Amino acid sequence: MGFCREDVFMGVIFLGDNMKRFFSGFNKYDLYLWSVSVTCIAAAFFLYRNTDHLKLAVSIIGVTSLIFNAKGNPFGQLLMVVFSVIYGYISYSFRYYGEMITYIGMTLPMALFSLISWLRHPFQGAHSEVEVNRLSKKEYAFMGLLSIIVTVLFFFILKALDTSSLIFSTLSVLTSFTAAYLTFRRTKEYALAYALNDIVLIILWSIASGENKEYISLIICFIMFLANDIYGYISWSIMEKRQKKIKNSNSEKI
């Protein structure tokens, strides 16, 4: 799964297309959800007099990433790379080493691989929409086994690092890895896995906010993430049906 000149060339085309049409492919519901999400995140940040603008920036980057992902747009994966780096740093500052290792060591590289995968599988040549995929029962079983192995391994690593909220940090690894795998494989279930991860993260940062009220802004952030991921599943379900209908129509013409 290495990089090659073709990946770089496709990436340049993809970035150029998206800079010209940043939100052009969005409907009113997409824009409404994004606007409400950003407004709630910003309101929580200033309401609790948070002075760390990095938290505000990472929250807005993250929620913007999710709305692009909900449309099957690879630009969302590029934003997720940026989000992972900043979020990893914030997690490190509170000794949430599980979050730091998960996002820097797993979510970030998987977002890069997902970006390549989505670019290589555009729906009918449109770089702004990925072709939805479906997994076999055998691959779901493989994913489940791999997720368990990764989670158990991380449990002992996080325990050795004296990670805060060890159980929830371990659950975050499990849900994050599953979500990252499903994202890479281009299935709509990725959004459900990330929704479960959002719930875990809401609990984690609720615990953190008991010591520092500034982390309340991250609770609001992941509540918005949860809403966006649920919407993402709905959006991908509609997209899957539409793509299937188009494929069937093209097959009949042939």
Cβ pair 94, 84 in contact under 8 A:
no
Half-sphere exposure of 95 (CA within 13 A, CB side): 11
Q: What is the mean pLDDT of residues 135-154?
A: 95
User: Mean pLDDT over all residues of the chain?
Assistant: 86
**Per-residue model confidence (pLDDT) at position 8:** 46
Higher pLDDT, residue 7 or 178: 178
Residue 69 has pLDDT above 90, yes or no: yes
Overall average pLDDT of the 232-248 stretch? 94
Higher-confidence position of 134 and 91:
134
pLDDT at 94: 76
**Helix 166-184 × helix 137-160 angle, to 10°:** 150
Domain ranges of the chain: 27-122+137-253
* High-pLDDT (> 90) share of the chain, %: 52
Give the integer Cα–Cα distance in Å for 106 and 90: 16
- Residue 139, pLDDT score: 97
Overall residue count recorded for the chain in this entry: 254
State phi, psi for 122 to the nearest 5 degrees.
-75, 150
For the chain, give the percent of residues with pLDDT over 70.
89
Q: What pLDDT shows up at residue 141?
A: 97
Which is it for strands 126-130 and 122-123: parallel, antiparallel or unpaired? antiparallel
The answer, yes or no, to whether residue 10 has pLDDT greater than 70, is no
CA 122 to chain centre: 19
| pLDDT for res 216 | 84
Is the CB of residue 176 less than 8 Å from the CB of residue 107? yes
Nearest by Cα to 184 from 74, 58, 26: 74
Tokens of residue 220, six digits: 């609001």
Q: Look up residue 180 and give its two tokens.
A: 């990252």
Q: What is the DSSP string of 175-201?
A: HHHHHHHHHHTT-TTHHHHHHHHHHHH
Structure tokens at 146: 């791999």
| pLDDT tops 70 at residue 77 | yes
pLDDT band at 252 (very low <50, low <70, confident <90, very high): low
3-state DSSP assignment of residue 129: strand
CA-to-CA separations, 242 to 120, 236, 237, 247, 249, in angstroms, rounded: 20, 10, 9, 9, 11
26-56 pLDDT, tens per residue?
Answer: 888 898 999 999 999 888 888 877 777 888 8
When comparing pLDDT for 1 and 168, which is higher? Answer: 168
Side chain identity, residue 58: V
Rounded Cα–Cα distance for residues 137 and 61 (Å): 34
